[in-house]
Structure 1
Amino acid sequence: MGLGALTQFQLLDAIPVLDRTAQNFVIEAMDDGVVVVDADDRIVNLNPQAERLLGNEGFDVGDTLPETYTDRGTTADGEGEDRNAVTPFAVDGAERYFEVDVSDLRDYHDRVTGRVVVFHDVTERLTREQRLSVLSRVLRHNLRNEMNVVYGYADGLSVESPADEAAVDLIKRKALTLVEQGSKAREIQEFLENGNPGGDPVDIGAAVRSVVARTRDAYPDVAFELDLPDEETACPAVVESVVENLVTNAAKHNTDPDPVVSVTARRDGADVVVAVVDNGPGIPREERAVLESGRETSLEHGSGLGLWFVTWAVDHADGSVSFEEADPGSAVTVRLPRRPTG
């Protein structure tokens, strides 16, 4: 259990046998730096880990902790909440990064009597994320460039038989697929790093029509059917990217002689429910299982990134997604919270 939970539910005070000595032991035993300040942000207690950090900054018990650490904002209704930010500290001559989490302390009249400030070392995590970001960017860049070269050479090959033509077409298709996957990986990384599920809400009807118009141009042989709300129905902005990935996936992989992709959207209480149904070969059972479990193994793994993006984006927006078989084809249902209109 984190310290935020302890302070939020006053757990330390709710257990009579847990005296002040035990409380201090709990705090001092934590790996994180913990500082307790009063209502005026004066330091009243801190554990050894925090002493190590703040001692280098010249702070001790009785000093006022700067707003840099204590002022992380409040919720819209004025209630305090856990607030996070990353702050650098010099530790043993090296710069390390700490996530600062602030929780309000309240008395039995719900008055703020102080705050608990927790410093959690995230240096290794940030370093790992930075290295993965660089590795991903370099791989995507090299992949795109090398596949463009492969495609160019394949396009210039002389074709002397139907077998040669089929082989060249296969090479070109595979090269384009890898280039597209590189672009999709970049889109996913940018969303995960910068995505804001709140964003500016969009009307689901307008978003779906815009997506289908673009997809229809790319896949003119596919018939698209729409069933959308007449009234404006606002939902998180990410819905447009989610629907685009689902509609594109349904159209691209549809091998039926008369391919059809239908998109329906409706209100359901406080949510918006969007369903994309096609009459194609469907999403393999193994891939659906991987997507719904949220993890891959060496034996079970997804084949593409588009559906992973859908899963992560919907989860990021506090929604849900389900993958089911249709007869024939597949049906993907997305549920997202509605947003206020106007």
Structure 2
Amino acid sequence: MLFLVYLLWDSRYNISVGWFLAAVIFSGTWGLISGLALLIPAEGTSAFLLYTARVVGILAGVSFFLFVLEFTTGKALSWKVVSPFLAVPLITFVVILADPSAFMSVQFEGRGYSLELHEFGMALLTYGLILHIMAISLLFRGYLTTDGAQQNQVGIIIIWYLISVVTVFAPFVLPIPDYFTVGVFGLLFLFIGTAYALQKFNLFTISPISKKEIFDKVSDGVVVLTPQNIVIEANQRAEELLDLDGGFAGKSVDEMFDSDAAIHKLLSDDITGATTFNVDREDSTKYLTVTSTDFHYGRGNTGTILVIQDVTPIKTREQQLDTLYQVFSRVFRHNIRNELTVIRGVLEFAQSENKKEHVDAQLESAIESTDKLLEHSRKAGQAEELIRDQHEPRKQPLDDLVETIVTKCKETYPDATIKTSVNGDDVLAVPGFGRAIECAIENAIVHNPYPGAIKVSSSTNGDFVTVSIEDNGQGIPDDEIEVLQNEKENSLTHGSGVGLWLIKWYTEKSGGEFDITSTNCGTTVSMTIPKA
């Protein structure tokens, strides 16, 4: 027994191993106490040991049943399930302490003894027999529904378990003296069989896991349908992706999804291969890819297994890359072309002009256009870096972030007036989020025909913080705002630069929302991001 405990100790946290160890320990203790009762001459002490042995024997039976229950279901039992079974041995021990005669009587005959079970003892015997029958039934069911190494494991357990149970209950039906504890030999067979299974079939090392538990832990959604599109089963991930509330088994596709045309079409049509569709919700759009596979069950039935993957992050990244391509294409096609046209014209003029003062003015214009090109290039590089690098939002102090950016902008634009009113909240934002604030302030100054008056403020609403940049300019054209909202540029509608796109992308990458309110009296750029 001790050697078997030693072999299993390292695996004690695996499914069912703990209860098997408990059964082994209680069984060995039962045999030891029964043997001591024969060796101790004091009848009172021997009787107490025999009573105790029966309680420990019940604990062994309960433990073995719980072992079989865990082993065949592959799920760890909660104490809520275990407690009622363990309550029986506890009640038995209390009854023995209060009135041993209610359990059984012991008659000593020379070196031996005889036992007579009373009503309570017979009830406990029946309880133990029922547990063993249930355990054997579960093992036979497991044997019929498994294969390979797991089936071999169950087969070994059935054989040695039957031998041990027969030897334990033999004295109650055969003319065997009570003091001749043949159950000890049954336990010996069980221990030998377990050691063999450990060596031959990796018993407990590859102990079974609940298929339902695996089914629910799969990262993709799985929906199983009958040939009539009746839902047989759906895992937890499918419930999350399809916004189900449970209770779906047995329902038809029409009952479940009549309010959602996209999902209804997905599950009711004859789908082959993989397809992607979008599910629109109040505050977001979810993109799902579904793969359909037929499976055969029963007598000639062909059902359908739908594997559903959430590809929203992939689709979002595709959209971002597509938008980035459009913005880059527009910057090189439109902005850079315009600035290079200005520079070329200025240089041609300078080449043909003899008056120095005219040349100086034109060269100043060329330098200004060159600076704009460099700024476009810098922001385009920032946009490329933002889209390419998949950084997670991290905790940042908003007041320090704003103070650093505002100080930099005041040095660059000394004529502008920049006021701040920012609280001390920490926010969750991707690295470089300060560039979004900087772009908003720069846009407010550069595109303002009046002396720039900028206000940077923040407000908190629940779990989110809104950073606002207000100016007193002439506003942003509606078509530029429309481009940002539609996330698509073309030859007729396009932005004037990369700055607004940077603000939008930095905000969305931080898990927030970007908004622009613009009139002919000024513009407010708002970035709402999560509070840390």
TM-score bin (small chain): 0.5 to 0.7
Out of 444, 447, 451, the position equivalent to 1:250 is 444
**Matched residues, number:** 245
Distance 1:246 1:328, change over 3 A: same
Aligned to 1:218: 412
CA contact (8 A) 2:476 2:519 kept: no
* Residue deviations 1:124-148 (CA, integer Å, cap 9, x gap): x99xx79x98xx79x98xx8xx97x
Alignment of 1:238-277 (within 5 A): 239-256=433-450, 258-277=451-470
Aligned to 1:284: 477
Q: Residues of 1 paired with 2:361 and 2:221: CA distance?
A: 62
* Residue deviations 1:226-263 (CA, integer Å, cap 9, x gap): 1011x34333245422211111211222221x321110
* Residue deviations 1:183-240 (CA, integer Å, cap 9, x gap): 21111111112142x43211111110010111111111111101011x3433324542
CA contact (8 A) 1:280 1:330 kept: yes
Aligned to 1:77: none
Distance 1:268 1:337, change over 3 A: same
Out of 374, 387, 403, the position equivalent to 1:209 is 403
Q: Residues of 2 paired with 1:29 and 1:271: CA distance?
A: 42
Helix, strand or coil: the match of 2:441? Answer: helix
Query: What's the CA shift for 1:117?
Result: 8.1
Aligned to 2:82: none
Which structure carries more strand by proportion?
Answer: 1
Which structure carries more helix by proportion?
Answer: 2
Distance 1:30 1:167, change over 3 A: farther
CA contact (8 A) 2:507 2:514 kept: yes
Aligned to 1:60: none
Alignment of 1:152-163 (within 5 A): 160-163=355-358
Q: Residues of 1 paired with 2:308 and 2:475: CA distance?
A: 51
Alignment of 1:96-115 (within 5 A): none
Query: What's the CA shift for 1:119?
Result: 12
Aligned to 2:251: 15
Out of 313, 328, 335, the position equivalent to 2:521 is 328
Query: What's the TM-score, normalizing by structure 2?
Result: 0.38
CA contact (8 A) 2:425 2:531 kept: no
The structure with higher relative contact order (CA 8 Å, sep 6+) is: 1
Q: Residues of 1 paired with 2:477 and 2:307: CA distance?
A: 49
Helix, strand or coil: the match of 1:242? Answer: helix
Q: Residues of 2 paired with 1:239 and 1:219: CA distance?
A: 21
Helix, strand or coil: the match of 1:201? Answer: strand
Aligned to 1:102: none
Q: Max radius of gyration: which structure?
A: 2
CA contact (8 A) 1:204 1:235 kept: no
Aligned to 1:191: 386
Q: Which amino acid aligns with 2:406?
A: V
Q: Which amino acid aligns with 2:366?
A: I
Helix, strand or coil: the match of 1:208? Answer: helix
Q: Is 1:303 aligned to 2:509, yes or no? A: no
Aligned to 1:31: 273
CA contact (8 A) 1:219 1:252 kept: no
CA contact (8 A) 1:279 1:330 kept: yes
Q: Which amino acid aligns with 1:287?
A: E
Distance 1:171 1:31, change over 3 A: farther
* Residue deviations 1:279-335 (CA, integer Å, cap 9, x gap): 223222221222233222332211111101111222232322221225632111221
Helix, strand or coil: the match of 1:212? Answer: helix
Alignment of 1:120-159 (within 5 A): none
Q: Residues of 1 paired with 2:253 and 2:471: CA distance?
A: 62
Query: What's the CA shift for 1:29?
Result: 3.5
Q: Residues of 1 paired with 2:522 and 2:500: CA distance?
A: 15
Distance 1:31 1:334, change over 3 A: same
Aligned to 1:112: none
Aligned to 1:165: 360
Out of 476, 480, 486, the position equivalent to 1:293 is 486
Out of 314, 326, 334, the position equivalent to 2:507 is 314
Q: Residues of 2 paired with 1:295 and 1:247: CA distance?
A: 24
Unaligned runs of 5+ in 1: 19-24, 34-44, 49-114
* Residue deviations 1:155-197 (CA, integer Å, cap 9, x gap): xx6872443333222222222212221221111111112142x
Distance 1:190 1:264, change over 3 A: same
Q: Residues of 1 paired with 2:473 and 2:406: CA distance?
A: 17
Distance 1:218 1:11, change over 3 A: farther
CA contact (8 A) 1:27 1:47 kept: no
Q: Residues of 1 paired with 2:447 and 2:515: CA distance?
A: 19
CA contact (8 A) 1:235 1:272 kept: no
Aligned to 2:175: none
Q: Which amino acid aligns with 2:422?
A: L
Aligned to 1:181: 376
CA contact (8 A) 1:235 1:336 kept: yes
Q: Which amino acid aligns with 1:317?
A: S
Helix, strand or coil: the match of 2:489? Answer: coil
* Residue deviations 1:30-55 (CA, integer Å, cap 9, x gap): 4339xxxxxxxxxxx9949xxxxxxx
Query: What's the TM-score, normalizing by structure 1?
Result: 0.57
